[in-house]
């Protein structure tokens, strides 16, 4: 172990799939730099059960045989130098310490700590010998998901139970519609959302008996589409807000792990559908498109 180099991938403290895309990018960088990845989502994570829990481990199996416990070694050196063996679980002061791939390649420290999102396109062309060289982010994320991300058994069981009870045997159209705080990022969001019925109806003309698996953060969107497509909507039971309200991921949960589980459940179930209609600006829609090798004609992301 003394001869091995590590990368500690911490939470950015943002939304679930933003954090997951951060993890997937850093897993790619760990491969390029020959470091062993360790993921630890600490007390700044929105989905942590409590301040001492590793939120990533609540949902996913470890990405390597090592944990943050192994990295808290007084003999180790760390980069950036603000990190030490006794503060790896801290947040706040050390947040946004951005490291480039060049920094990692030139670094001889035992542990590199990454807690800031970097666009993979900015680094992807750095080393030609890596098999992911030249891939756009969607395919890189998809490859890293397939290679490293494995659900914990209770999470997988809950997803399977819902699928068997509500979805199996149907042709399924996954429809992901965002509202609430997404309008801050996409100012014409409500105009974009008007495109959905056209795309849904186009799919229903091909498969008239198809069911719609609706993912939405908004209760009024769910109500609207239940009226538009009576008897055709399948949805999970999760916390929702009003279309013009604050984001559901900012809502207080007695069990914050449940907040993350709701997102995972919807995302993995949507990836079992036959086609996807989603929001091209949403990390959730992008994640669904990355979770399996869809036929190109089966994915429609709206912009």
User: pLDDT higher for 49 or 18?
Assistant: 18
Q: Scanning the structure block, which residue is given the tokens 């360790």?
A: 38
* Chain segment 270-279, per-residue pLDDT in tens: 999 999 999 9
How remote is the C-alpha of 100 from its chain's centroid? 22
**Mean pLDDT comparison of 25-34, 184-193, 249-258, 287-296, highest-scoring range:** 287-296
Q: What is the pLDDT of residue 52?
A: 78
pLDDT beyond 90 at 257:
no
Average pLDDT over residues 43-58: 88
pLDDT band at residue 98 using 50, 70 and 90 as cut-offs: low
Phi first, then psi, for residue 79 (nearest 5°) are: -140, 135
Of 253, 254, 174, residue with least CA distance to 207? 174
DSSP assignment string, 212-249:
EEEEESBHHHHHHHHHHSTT-EE------B-TTS--GG
Locate CATH 3.40.50.11350 in the chain: 154-302
Question: Which CATH code, of 3.40.1800, 3.30.70, 3.10.290, 3.40.50, is assigned to 6-148?
Answer: 3.40.50
pLDDT beyond 70 at 92:
no
User: pLDDT higher for 81 or 56?
Assistant: 56
Q: What is the pLDDT of residue 128?
A: 61
Instruction: Check residue 279 and report its DSSP letter.
Output: E
Point out the least confidently predicted range of 2-16, 161-175, 233-247, 272-286: 233-247
Architecture of domain 154-302 in this structure: 3-Layer(aba) Sandwich (3.40)
Q: What is the pLDDT of residue 139?
A: 85
Q: How far apart (Å, rounded) are the C-alpha atoms in residues 43 and 129?
A: 37
Phi first, then psi, for residue 182 (nearest 5°) are: -65, -20
Instruction: Check residue 250 and report its DSSP letter.
Output: G
């Amino acid at each position: 172990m003394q001869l091995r180099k590590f990368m500690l991938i911490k939470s950015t403290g943002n939304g679930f799939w933003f954090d997951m895309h951060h993890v997937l990018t850093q897993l790619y960088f760990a491969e390029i730099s020959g470091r062993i990845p360790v993921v630890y989502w600490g007390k700044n994570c929105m989905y942590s059960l409590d301040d001492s829990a590793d939120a990533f481990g609540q949902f996913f199996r470890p990405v390597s045989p090592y944990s943050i416990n192994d990295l808290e070694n007084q003999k180790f050196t760390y980069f950036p130098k603000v990190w030490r063996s006794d503060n790896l679980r801290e947040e706040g002061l050390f947040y946004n310490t951005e490291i480039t791939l060049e920094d990692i390649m030139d670094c001889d420290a035992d542990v590199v700590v990454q807690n800031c999102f970097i666009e993979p396109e900015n680094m992807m062309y750095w080393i030609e010998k890596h098999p992911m060289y030249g891939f756009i982010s969607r395919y890189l994320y998809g490859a890293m998901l397939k290679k490293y991300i494995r659900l914990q058994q209770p999470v997988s069981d809950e997803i399977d139970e819902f699928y068997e009870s509500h979805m199996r045997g149907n042709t399924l159209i996954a429809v992901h519609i965002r509202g609430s705080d997404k309008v801050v990022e996409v100012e014409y969001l409500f105009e974009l959302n008007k495109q959905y019925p056209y795309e849904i109806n186009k799919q229903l003309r091909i498969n008239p008996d198809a069911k719609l698996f609706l993912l939405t953060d908004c209760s009024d969107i769910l109500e609207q589409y239940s009226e538009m497509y009576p008897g055709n909507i399948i949805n999970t039971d999760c916390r929702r807000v009003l279309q013009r309200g604050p984001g559901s991921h900012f809502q207080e949960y007695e069990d914050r792990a449940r907040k993350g589980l709701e997102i995972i459940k919807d995302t993995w179930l949507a990836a079992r559908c036959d086609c996807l209609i989603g929001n091209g600006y949403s990390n959730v829609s992008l994640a669904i498109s990355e979770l399996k090798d869809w036929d190109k004609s089966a994915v429609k992301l709206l912009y």
